[in-house]
Structures are given as structure tokens and as C-alpha cells.
Structure 1
Amino acid sequence: MAVTPTDITLNQRSEELIINWSDGRTCSYPLGPLRLACPCVECRGGHDRMGREHDPKSLSDLIPLTHVTTERVELVGNYALQFFWSDGHNTGIYTWDYLYRLCPAEDETNA
């Protein structure tokens, strides 16, 4: 059985997305690095790079060059989220599996 979100909170004040997962795990994603982890074809560098493993090892490795926030987040069916970023980008679909794999380690979120 796949792990799915039980609660999703976009906290604009702390600039993070918080997801409680069905396996009891809670993940806090910083928005700037999450924007840089966008899985869309444009951000991944073209169709020839799609389907390859491209997950960052850690969101803390992704340091945004500019300050980007999210204007809103929408559910895509029952399998993903779509972000509408302040830089105008909105084509990335972040699946539950992708977001779960991107979950920052607890020591990163408490640093």
C-alpha cells in the first residue's frame, strides 16, 4: 500500500509545506528548495532527461538564488500537488511518491 498524505498545510509565514503521511511521518519542506526540486520537463532540462533519477539527495543541498514563495497549492487528482510559484512557474506536478522521497531528514528540519 502506498503512503499518502493525511494532512497538508501550506505555512506562508514560515515558508514551508507540512505534510503528515499515512505512515505517521511528518515532513516540513522549505519552499525555496522545493521550487528548485520542480520535476517538470522545463526545470529538468528537456524531454531527454525525463524519467531519469533526478531527485536531490537533500532539499538542504538546494539553495535558492532568489526568494520565491508559493501563491497557492492545488491537489492534482488524488496523487499529487501543483504549486503556483511567485516567479510565475506552475507546470511541475509533485507526486506523493516524489514528495515523500524529498522529505528532509529530521536533523535538517530542526537545524
Structure 2
Amino acid sequence: MKPTTIQISKSRRVLIVPWDDGHRSEYPWDGLRLACPCAECKGGHENMGTPPDPAVFDLTPTQRYDLIGADLVGNYALQPLWADEHRYGLYSWEYLRGLCPCDECRRGRE
């Protein structure tokens, strides 16, 4: 599965991803940043590749994260650019979809 578009809503502070299977995901920026899959955020290379944890969307962040842009990486990932200049996380389509915080996806993971 792949996104059909990527939208950044600054007013709602969400990344909106409509998928080619008809599903629509909305990722609040703070949770998306806390779920960054890069080695620095995961605590080392040995922790990379771990499944996404959608529980990050239930946490109260200790700081506010602002998404200022995002680049497509090939045909397989999204690389967000954050106001704190962090840009190392590559969110593969599989990782991003596994992170979807909607009720339907949460029920499907239980």
C-alpha cells in the first residue's frame, strides 16, 4: 500500500495521508515526531527496525514539535523536516501505516 498524496495541515497540526486502499490516516505532529524511526531517536542502530508504537499518540509530549515540510524518498518513504532541524527519520510506507492512530487501525492491532 502507498499514499495517494501527502498533506500537511498547519492549522490542525496533522499529517494527512490518504492511502491507495481507501484508508485515510491523520498523524498528530507531536506523536509522529516521538515515533521517529531514526537511529538517534530509537537509541542506536540495534533498535532500528522495531515495529511502530502507536501509543506515542497517547503521550503528552514534553515539548511541541512543528513540522515544516516533508520529502518523498524514492517510492518507499517519507522524510519529515522538523522545526528543530531533525530530518533523519525515514518513515517507510509500511512503518507509517502501522503507526496509524485511528480507532479502526487500533482495533485491528488488538
Query: 1:17: which partner in 2?
Result: 15
Q: Say whether the 8 Å CA contact 1:9–1:18 is kept in structure 2.
A: yes
One-letter code aligned to 2:95: Y
1:6-85 superposed matches below 5 A: 6-51=4-49, 53-85=50-82
Q: How many residues align?
A: 105
Q: CA deviation at 1:56?
A: 1.1
**Unpaired stretches in structure 1, ≥5 consecutive residues:** none
Query: 2:107: which partner in 1?
Result: none
Map Cα deviations across residues 49-74 of structure 1 (whole Å, 9 max, x no partner): 223x2421434233321011111111
Cα RMSD between the aligned structures? Answer: 1.7
Query: 1:106: which partner in 2?
Result: 103
TM-score by length of 2: 0.87
TM-score by length of 1: 0.86
Q: Distance in 2 between matches of 1:24 and 1:59?
A: 24
Map Cα deviations across residues 35-91 of structure 1 (whole Å, 9 max, x no partner): 00000000000112223x242143423332101111111111111111110111110
Higher strand share: 1
**Unpaired stretches in structure 2, ≥5 consecutive residues:** 105-110
Runs of 4+ in 1 over 2 A off after TM superposition: 57-63
